[in-house]
Amino acid sequence: MNVGERVDVAAQLRRTGIHVTLDEVLPNRPNVIASIPGNSPEQSLLFETHLDTVMPNAKMRNPFRPEVRDGAVYGLGACDAKGCLAAMMAAIEAVSQLGRSPSVTVVLAAVVDEEYQYRGVS
C-alpha cells in the first residue's frame, strides 16, 4: 500500500467528520490515527490493524497483480488485514454517526510496519 492509499483511508474517515492525524513513522509511510472523543476520556476502545504488507518473495508469480482462481483472490496482501481495516473503518464511522458522544473514546490506529521491525507500533 502506498502513501496515496493511506491518505485515502484518512480522507474516507474525514468525510464522516472523524478527527484524523497522520503520524509519519518512516519516510512516506505514515500511521493513520482516527479518534472520536468519548464521555469518559480516561477510557478508550482501540481498533488496531496494519496498512502495509510484507515484501514479496521469489515464489510469488506476480504479487502485485491480483488474480481470481477458483473463487479466491490471490496476490500480495489479499488475505491480510485489509478486511479487518474495512470493518474497523465501518465501525468507527457508525459510531461517528450516532449523533452523540460514545461512552468511551474510540480510536482507530491503522499502522505501518506492524509485522516486520514493528516501528509503526512501538
Catalytic residue, from 42, 52, 70, 115: name it.
52
Catalytic residue, from 23, 24, 93, 114: name it.
114
Does 67 participate in catalysis according to the annotation?
no
Does 114 participate in catalysis according to the annotation?
yes
| Measured distance CA(30)–CA(26) in Å, rounded | 7
Beta carbons within 8 Å of 1's beta carbon, 6+ residues apart: 51, 52, 53, 77
Residue from 5, 62, 12 nearest 34 by CA: 12
Cβ–Cβ under 8 Å, residues 9 and 110: yes
Catalytic residues: 52, 114
